[in-house]
Amino acid sequence: MQHEIIKVAKFGGSSLASAEQFEKAGAIVKADASRRYVVPSAPGKRDKSDFKVTDMLYECYNSVMEGRDLSVPFGKIIERYSGIVEGLGLKLSLKDEFDSIRSAMLHRAGRDYVASRGEYLNAKILAEYLEFDFIDASEVIFFSDNGNFDSDKTNEILSAVLRRHKTAVIPGFYGSMPNGTIKTFSRGGSDITGSIVARAAQADLYENWTDVDGFLMADPRIVPDPKRIDTITYRELRELSYMGATVLHEDAIFPVRFAGIPINIRNTNAPESNGTMIVSHAPSDNTGAITGIAGHKGFSVITIEKDMMNAELGFGRRVLEVLEKHGISFEHLPSGIDTMSVIVSTVSLSENRDRIINDICAAVDPESVSVEDGIALIAVVGRNMVKAKGTAAKVFNAITRVGTNIRMIDQGSCEFNIIIGVEEHDFERSMRAIYEEFMPD
Ligand code: ASP
């Protein structure tokens, strides 16, 4: 029997912000019969000054909690959805839905329930528009009592339900707790729902439709006109997103990665572009090409000095235990013979800074401990760097060319990333210099 291709298409908030955007999304779904399951976000911003429906719903929740009138904020939400329904020329009436949501809000429904209605209503409209079935996420996406996503139960029930529907729309962002109450994922969580649906449907591809052409090799606010990444592995993506590249919710990777399903980031406003393909494995070559550069500011270096440190068993552990006690996770640990540096995010030190220094002194009795703020980290990531000679040299060339002082170097043991620390005021020009070094034009 021939394998039938199944694609899951998730559309983000800006892709479904108005009737016009719905039409684009509809045309995309209809253009390919294998796009059988569709996961929508709530309507996002139509332009920069607009509001996301999810934020408007949180506003409704706050209004009720603070005893303010609900009619104005809820009225705006009704207007948004009615505009979409009318603009699409649908016969659908959402009046009963609006009434029951309003009444639930007035009866102090939970914050997550209120927020989830953005996706719920958008999915109702999309299902009607596409003539697909509607599957309520509360019946197929589950959380455990401790609030964690219940992957096994969800996968079992969701796969069985999907098998009964040739085509369906499943709202993103939420599911239900064992007691039936609604719980949402963290913000941007419709990406996670899409990934969960793709896994349960045993899809061949998870398409994530958004408002950009895919991942760019660098942040366009820093590097002018960076190239789009055609293919990136999950591991490379983890490195880049950890360091600041955002398009996809971080947790959206796990369900599909586990199932070996590629993710394709696509642009609803430019469907002719192939976007970025995120895959488990991509062949690496020895070209030395990089996949991307990411980074951000806001790090501090704690430097600890002690003669004969290298001979002292358990030194590093005792230092890290102090950080653990203060709830701080470290980013990097570059060390010398008699010095150890720990790079942490500056916000994590907060007002505990003096106590941390005192505790380190008590734990390892060092000659000196100092904390320096204002460090930026830059990650240069690429599977093709591994076999190529001279990659690190290229990074240093670039940095030297612009006169930046490198404060730290860390080549991850996986060898597909090189991380350097620079002073914050050197951050932007260092990023640009590295990009130009690898992508001369
Ligand atoms: N609507 C939710 C948010 O704004 C979830 C999502 O769009 O993915 O965070």
Whether the CB-CB separation of 97 and 61 falls below 8 Å is answered with no
Please name which of 75, 38, 56 lies closest in space to residue 118, comparing C-alpha atoms. 56
Tell me the one-letter amino acid at 197: V
**Whole-number average pLDDT of the chain:** 93
Summarised one tens digit per residue, pLDDT across range 27-39 is: 999 999 999 999 9
Substitution site in 41, 53, 81, 184 for ligand 1 pocket (most atoms within 8 Å of beta carbon): 41
Cα-to-centroid distance, 122 and ligand 1 (Å): 12
- 13-36 mean pLDDT: 98
Please name which of 339, 330, 209 lies closest in space to residue 263, comparing C-alpha atoms. 209
Residue 2: is its pLDDT beyond 80? no
Cα-to-centroid distance, 356 and ligand 1 (Å): 37
Pairing status of strand 168-169 against strand 292-305 = unpaired
pLDDT at 258: 84
Cα-to-centroid distance, 54 and ligand 1 (Å): 6
C-alpha span between 342 and 335 (Å, rounded): 8
Summarised one tens digit per residue, pLDDT across range 192-238 is: 999 999 999 999 999 999 998 888 999 888 999 999 999 999 888 88
- 420-429 mean pLDDT: 95
**Side-by-side strand order, sheet with 168-169:** 133-134, 168-169, 35-40, 7-11, 205-210, 263-267, 276-279, 231-233
Please name which of 255, 112, 105 lies closest in space to residue 187, comparing C-alpha atoms. 112
Which atom belonging to ligand 1 lies closest to the Cα atom of 193? 8
Residue nearest to atom 8 of ligand 1 (CA): 188
Which atom belonging to ligand 1 lies closest to the Cα atom of 190? 8
Residue nearest to atom 2 of ligand 1 (CA): 188
- Provide the 10 A C-beta neighbour count for residue 139: 13
Listed in order, strand segments (DSSP E) in 13-65 are: 35-40
Where does ligand 1 bind, in terms of residues with CB under 6 Å? 13, 41-42, 52, 54, 118, 172-173, 187-191
C-alpha span between 159 and 203 (Å, rounded): 11
Cα-to-centroid distance, 273 and ligand 1 (Å): 24
pTM: 0.86
The percent of residues above 90 in pLDDT, for the chain, comes to: 78
Please name which of 265, 203, 256 lies closest in space to residue 6, comparing C-alpha atoms. 203
Which atom belonging to ligand 1 lies closest to the Cα atom of 41? 7
Please name which of 6, 11, 81, 3 lies closest in space to residue 265, comparing C-alpha atoms. 11
Cα-to-centroid distance, 42 and ligand 1 (Å): 6
